[in-house]
Chains A and B, each alone.
Chain A
Amino acid sequence: GDSVTQMEGPVTLSEEAFLTINCTYTATGYPSLFWYVQYPGEGLQLLLKATKADDKGSNKGFEATYRKETTSFHLEKGSVQVSDSAVYFCALGGASGGSYIPTFGRGTSLIVHP
């Protein structure tokens, strides 16, 4: 079945540091890929998405590129802020059997220090 693997956390950075959170996926077909963010005490909300190979999703300074050849969708940000501290989930709109059920990685906690 479909699955998502993302790097374990927590990731601890100083403000203005460069961020990379790795994400790889396994899926049949051609799923859409997503990054969600969860702030403390809240539900998940969409951060960015890409719907086909080589698409780049971007939002709030975050970027991720859909790499079909390496089945990856790594999240990057050039300069993190304290307010970016949250849990980040990589996800795919699963394509197995055409069902497109959202499938999530285990989440990566990001802690940004001033």
Chain B
Amino acid sequence: DADVTQTPRNRITKTGKRIMLECSQTKGHDRMYWYRQDPGLGLRLIYYSFDVKDINKGEISDGYSVSRQAQAKFSLSLESAIPNQTALYFCATSDFGSEAFFGQGTRLTVV
């Protein structure tokens, strides 16, 4: 089984809809992250969480919210999806200062 699992892998949704992307990890790490990947822009941090009670905004948090349901689960929500949120979304987990482990990504298209 993968260390980090994201669901769904692909999603097409309409403008204005609420959508949730889910992430679970089996590494036992406290730290979890959500990134967005756009061509030419690399990975940009949306939200991060250092433990269940510690959630922080990243550089591009507007239009997104998160929930850390447990050490192993960290979900990302788009409250009202818009077309410029079309992107590839990655969840990752790491230990303090160590390498990050990534999920396979969720390709989201907002039409």
**Are B105 and A102 interface neighbours, CB within 8 A?**
no
Q: How distant is the Cα of A107 from the Cα of B35 in the complex, in angstroms?
A: 14
B109 within 8 A of A: no
Note all chain B residues with C-beta closer than 8 A to A44.
43, 90, 92, 100, 102
A31 to B41, CA, bound (A): 22
Tally of contacts, chain A with chain B, CB under 8 A = 50
Interface string of B78-100 (1 = CB under 8 A from A): 00000000000010101011111
Q: Which of B45, B90, B97, B98 contacts A43 (CB 8 A)?
A: B90
Q: Which residues of A contact B40 (CB under 8 A)?
A: 106
A interface: dominant SS: strand
**How many residues of chain A are within 8 Å of chain B by beta carbon?**
22
- Say yes or no: A42-B99 contact (C-beta < 8 A), given A89-B42, A105-B42: no
B residues at A contact (CB < 8 Å): 4, 33, 35, 40-43, 45, 48, 90, 92, 94, 96-100, 102-105
